[in-house]
Chains A and B, each alone.
Chain A
């Protein structure tokens, strides 16, 4: 009987043949915490009588969610993290280095076949590198830090077969929003998603991260893809390590399979206040916006900034719109400067904030006011997500966000491409 990608990765990490619905205790290759979850994990680590982390080279904390600190409460928690990292001697990515889900892939520590836990729900992002990576809470994180292990229920797999070619002006963000709208916010709960097909193969590695990142928004434990030359080319920029790709067997058993033809897909938006409240951009085109956010672990990569700059070049952001750009990492920020992308964005009127999560989680960097509407490239539009429960958030691709920033209303980006 064949195995899915996730069954194979778990098998190679638990010393037995793992099958869906079994409980296994598996070795983890990397463990990550961020400033929203690590402070509680430090408490749990002490509560567990933890002494040392299991491997100094396989652990990192990232200060990205509320960075630099906007108030003394956050500062105290950041200090707690810095002191813990110094004492236990492992890697800290401090303010300005970027979003955890860009930094861990850039570290070169994670690749095809890896098993990663991170105390952040969007840890599923590294599935785009053919790794099983998943989000956990702070107590699980502490258990991982101490033992280098985690227990898992081996998930069933939901295979998404994406055929056809994405039309111009339609991007991987539009595709994943469409899929989430189709299966809903709990359509893949407790399951691993596998995204396959010619439309996935045609995407750049950066565009694939966007899809894997949002697997959690359909409830999935992982968002997996196969590795190919693009994956290895991307990894070789960061590491000389060799990774062996994990491929599903032809007779692997899937709980669900759904096929799509993406050739007629239109740009999509997720409307307030749920990620699965998805519609073609035409349904809401013309709605005035006051803020536009380009960035986050979903869409803050170089390609995303380049797409937006292509639309904003030699044009000005609408006077009623605040456009905020948060590059996903310092490296991306530097690359975007070298390419002139930052120059273009700033000249168009965008405000650049520190590489990191930006205003996505509502702690700083652009909290909307009552009654305002935000269009954002992030992954969540829950009421209050950006710090004000009387504001509305629409999620869209970098192209749709840039086009909307220009016109001051939600706009189909194909008008500008």
Chain B
């Protein structure tokens, strides 16, 4: 899988309240509606600025805080193709894989706001076209590759009726 788009840079400890605020998420299961408010408390115009295929680029501990799965879903429904960060909080990381949002651990210090980048998940590398350099991707654990390849955890369950990592 290869994605290309523009980087939208954020700092460390981006929590799930910032990704989608509690004041919206309790009201609806319409993820397209929630997507309009994605990252709103950090950048009120984010949804207007982001183009289909773009990337959210964070620092360390991306997705900390609450377990709300609306966070990766709101990002996905805003047509963001992947989230890149130095590290992820564990519940967000699981939720993203389960729902099919690619999450990429890499050295995001080598990416600046507005950089044009290409993420090649199969090759495990990011090409920063603006800077002309490449950044290696930390591989996903095997169990998560299995879930992703099955099309998310729901599809994995449809296929096997439960967890099957044998």
Contact = CB atoms under 8 A, between A and B. Distances in A.
A74 interface: yes
Interface in A329-381: 361-363, 367, 380
Interface stretch (A232-240, A287-295, A384-392): A384-392
Contacts of B13: 185-186, 274
Contacts of B25: 36
Interface residues of B, number: 43
A286 to B, nearest CB: 28
B81 interface: no
B162 A147 contact: yes
Contacts of A150: 163
A136 B67 contact: yes
A40 B15 CA distance: 19
A143 B99 CA distance: 13
Given A138-B69, A153-B141, A189 B89 contact: yes
Contacts of B18: 382-384
B60 to A, nearest CB: 6
A363 B26 contact: yes
Contacts of A413: none
A362 B18 CA distance: 13
B29 interface: yes
Contact of A73 (B28, B65, B69, B162): B28
Contacts of B162: 143, 146-147, 149
Interface string B11-29: 0010101100111011111
B4 interface: no
Nearest to A47: B154
A23 B73 CA distance: 25
A380 B65 contact: yes
A135 B71 CA distance: 15
A149 B160 CA distance: 14
Contacts of B165: 23, 25, 151
A272 interface: no
Contact of B154 (A44, A121, A362): A44
A66 B41 CA distance: 21
Contacts of B143: 23, 151
Contacts of A140: 94-95, 98, 153
Contact of A139 (B15, B61, B89, B152): B152
A363 B70 CA distance: 16
Interface in B119-166: 141-143, 152-154, 157-158, 162-163, 165
A384 B158 CA distance: 38
Given A139-B99, A140-B98, A387-B23, A37 B68 contact: yes
B163 A137 contact: no
Contact of A185 (B61, B99, B163): B61
Given A47-B154, A137-B67, A389 B41 contact: yes
Interface of B: 13, 15, 17-18, 21-23, 25-29, 40-41, 60-61, 64-70, 73, 87, 89-91, 94-95, 98-99, 141-143, 152-154, 157-158, 162-163, 165
6 contacts: A135-B67, A186-B89, A189-B61, A219-B89, A383-B17, A384-B23
Given A137-B95, A189-B89, 15 more contacts: A36-B68, A37-B68, A73-B26, A77-B26, A120-B67, A121-B67, A135-B91, A139-B98, A139-B153, A146-B162, A147-B157, A186-B60, A189-B87, A274-B13, A380-B17
Interface of A: 23, 25, 35-37, 39-40, 43-44, 47-50, 65-66, 71, 73-74, 77, 119-121, 123, 135-140, 142-143, 146-147, 149-151, 153, 185-186, 189-190, 216, 219, 221, 274, 361-363, 367, 380, 382-385, 387, 389
